[in-house]
Amino acid sequence: MKIFKWFSIFLCLLAYTSCNDDHETINESITVSTPSVSDITYESAAFSSSVSSNRNVLKKGFCYNTQAAPTVADALLEVTDVATEFDGQAKGLSAQTLYYLRAYAMLKSGDIIYSSETTFTSNNKSVDDELGEYVAPSYSDDYTPIADWSKRAQWNLANVHDPSVMLAADGYFYMYQTDASYGNAHQGHGHFHGRRSKDLVNWEYMGATMPEVPSWVKTQLNEYRATCGLLPIENPNYGCWAPVVRKVNSSLYRMYYSIVVDNLIDGANTWSERAFIGLAETTDPASNVWEDKGFVVCSASDKNLDWTNTGWESAYFKWNAIDPTYIVTPSNDHWLIYGSWHSGIVALELNGETGKPKADLTNPWGTLDDIAGYGKLLVSRNLKSRWQASEGPEIIYNPETQYYYLFMAYDGLDVPYNTRVCRSKNIDGPYYGIDGRNLTEQGGEMYPIVTHPYKFANSDGWVGIAHCAIFDDGNGNWYYASQGRLPVDVPGINVSNAVMMGHVRSIRWTTDGWPVVMPQRYGAVPQVAITEDELIGNWENINLSYNYGKQKTSETLTLTSDHKVTSGTWSGKTWSFDSAKQALIINGVELCLQREVDWELSPRTHTIVFAGYLEKNTYWGKKSK
């Protein structure tokens, strides 16, 4: 028995020693070669390696990361080759990125043997790579089949009028608007409807921000009427128009809105009652819950109590309290800019803490001196008449150029509507046009023209493009948003001019600091650098010089490889390309280039567009396919 016992112990020790020696021998004898890399693209690469032996190898493959010494805990490419040599292809890489790479073998024991490390850099995307993956928006511009209230979840940018857009702290762009809609779809469903988007292409409808007109409007109206010796209006007719929304800080957002009272002041042959601007605030726009803060300002008259209607040229109200726009300056001063038609656009300084006027307001009637507190004139289209045919101010400050830019809507909103812009080094002026005209002191036509009714080939084109919102994404990219209307009598669409599609367009800035709006709507086309070779060929060029109520149509513009222009406005002239500025130069005219959607093609795809100014002319163009 003793002999058997000792013999058993001896066998166990022998077995243990043999197993342990074999384990160590395997770990020491297997090596993995440094991988080689081939067929590198912007998103993939092929790897090859080998193991000295497949004995007791459970798994093998490659691991890679953007940090040194990758392990199997990082991006892993496992292969199934039974040979000692093995290879594989990694996909889903980031373009123009340095990667660290090792091959590995995992043994049945659980040990992992790594090769030496190597590196490779993925390629940058080519124009074909970037744009080949692009899918353009596919929604129809004729949204009449989904225009009614029951289909509001499908609206996207349908039923948009007088939009205001801001980027909130949660990363969403929020858009709010006038209640106007095709077939009055919004009627009875509250006011100042909102929607939001992460990409400026796909928009989620959120509903009204205000369930009903605030009670303070009627109260304030009838208090003024009582002071003037007028009877109260028991059931005012309200119009809800043109809000502006701004982020004050990450936990405070302000909306200034317009409430117009359409009743006559004192019966026939008198003017309509005044308009009011109110304020609402929220801490979270995603909630769509806004707290009304009440009265801010109202229309003011320099004609005391003489409200007899003697014609638009001498309208009763000097300043008309609609179409507010709001700005916080770099020095943290708060200003409300407002006005429509009547005598021009005025600026009113606010208390930043309350959002209300900084100074107390007097009664909104009297002499011009009496109502001085209601605002300072910024621009006027005609200093001698209150028939301005201009409205919808929008003000922004560009820290790159250090100018304030005041955008304006000109003419009637149905077809003729067009957008102008002027600028100033000071928030309260004077404001100048691109032609050097002092619009604060001289008044007159504002240039340049930013948008205008237009029509590219193979389309009905767009009209009524104005009353804009101007906003940025925090990364130096600026955008223009407005409604666009279809022209009158488009075949197959009932009341086609009442179709109001929301338009968002990119803004570029000229060398001398003027904003140009791209002729095609934004569609998130990859902004791969444009090359000179891509400019050669035929373009559609539109001269957007002012022509009241007319859609400007396109001509063919041909650029040849020897830098000649052989057709169109600049035929016989030369062209050049500034790759650093991404600008096409024709006969000295700087045309800012951008990749955008060709909305007139079916199916839609990407193209190249341009926009630029020459004195009072604006040029829009797109590359023909």
Contact in structure between 296 and 336 (CB atoms under 8 Å): yes
Q: What is the pLDDT of residue 529?
A: 92
Residue 28 has a pLDDT of: 53
Residue 545 has phi, psi (to 5 degrees) of -55, 150
Rg (CA), the chain: 33
432-446 per-residue burial string, b: 16 or more CB within 10 A, e: under 16: bbbeebbbbeebebb
User: Cα 328 from chain centroid?
Assistant: 20
Q: Are strands 552-553 and 454-455 parallel, antiparallel or unpaired?
A: parallel
Nearest Cα to Cα of residue 453 among 481, 420, 417, 488: 417
Residue 5's pLDDT is 40
Query: What is the per-residue pLDDT for 449?
Result: 98
Residue 82's pLDDT is what? 85
Which two three-digit tokens encode residue 480? 């223009």
Pick the CATH number of 24-124 from 2.60.120.260, 2.60.40.10, 3.40.50.1470, 3.40.190.10: 2.60.40.10
Query: Cα 243–322–407 angle (5° rounding)?
Result: 75
Sheet holding 565-567, edge to edge: 565-567, 555-559, 537-543, 617-623, 605-614, 589-598, 583-586, 575-578
Fold topology of 158-485: Tachylectin-2; Chain A (2.115.10)
Q: Is 65 exposed, middle or buried (0-12, 13-18, 19+ CB in 10 A)?
A: middle
The kind and range of the H/E element at 24 are helix 2-29
Q: What is the dihedral of CA 150, 155, 161, 164, to 10 degrees?
A: 120
Q: Which parts of the chain sit beneath pLDDT 50?
A: 1-27
Q: What is the pLDDT of residues 402-428, one digit of tens each?
A: 999 999 999 998 999 999 999 999 999
pTM, rounded to two decimals: 0.85
pLDDT one-digit tens code per residue, 115-163: 999 999 999 888 788 888 899 999 999 999 999 999 999 999 999 999 9
Domain ranges of the chain: 24-124, 158-485
The 3-state DSSP composition of the chain as helix, strand, coil percent (nearest 5) reads 10, 40, 45
